[in-house]
Amino acid sequence: EVQLLQSGGGLIQPGGSLRLSCAASGLTFRSYAMAWVRQAPGKGLEWVSTISGSGSDTYYADSVQGRFTISRDNSRSTLYLYMHNLRAEDTAIYYCAKLPDVVIVPAASRGYFDYWGQGALVTVSS
């Protein structure tokens, strides 16, 4: 059974940094692309970032480009999201999610999120 167990999150001041982790089990981790999706309070789902199975390819939403970094340690079956220069509008529940393919190829990869972590709340406030 695929399981994604998240850790990290919490209260952080504007301008601060935080790291989220997502430990995967029940799958060959390096064989799947992974992603982060967030939900701000009272808002809908927002895709944040995606990383290929090898970690060589990464993609970001415009709202986080240059401030967030997605990475993975396939030896530890763990996904990370490093968040810098945090803003109040980054306050959200952050979910890690698994994709069904190892690479992200436009109009070829399936690109859906078939397994999700339990979520981690990040609150950016002074």
Partner 1 sequence: DIQMTQSPSSLSASVGDRVIITCRASQNIDYYLNWYHHKPGKAPQLLISAVSTLESGFPSRFSGSASGTDFTLTISSLQPEDVGTYYCQQSYGTSYSFGQGTKVEIK
> Which is nearest to 59 in space by CA: 71, 50, 69?
50
Smallest distance, partner 1 to C-beta of residue 14, A? 26
Q: Which residues in the 28-47 window bind partner 1 by CB under 8 A?
A: 35, 37, 44-47
| Near partner 1 by CB under 8 A: residue from 5, 15, 31, 112 | 112
CB atoms under 10 Å from CB of 58, counted, come to 15
For position 50 contacting partner 1 by CB under 8 A, the verdict is yes
Cα 61 from Cα 26, distance rounded (Å): 29
Smallest distance, partner 1 to C-beta of residue 100, A? 8
For position 19 contacting partner 1 by CB under 8 A, the verdict is no
- Maximum C-alpha span of the chain: 44
- Phi and psi torsions of 29, nearest 5°: -55, -45
Smallest distance, partner 1 to C-beta of residue 84, A? 21
Give the 3-state secondary structure of residue 27: coil
| Near partner 1 by CB under 8 A: residue from 1, 13, 107, 126 | 107
* Neighbour-count burial for 34-44, b at 16+ CB within 10 Å, e otherwise: bbbbbeeeeee
Residues that bind partner 1 (CB under 8 A): 35, 37, 44-47, 50, 59, 61-62, 95, 104, 106-107, 109-114, 116-119
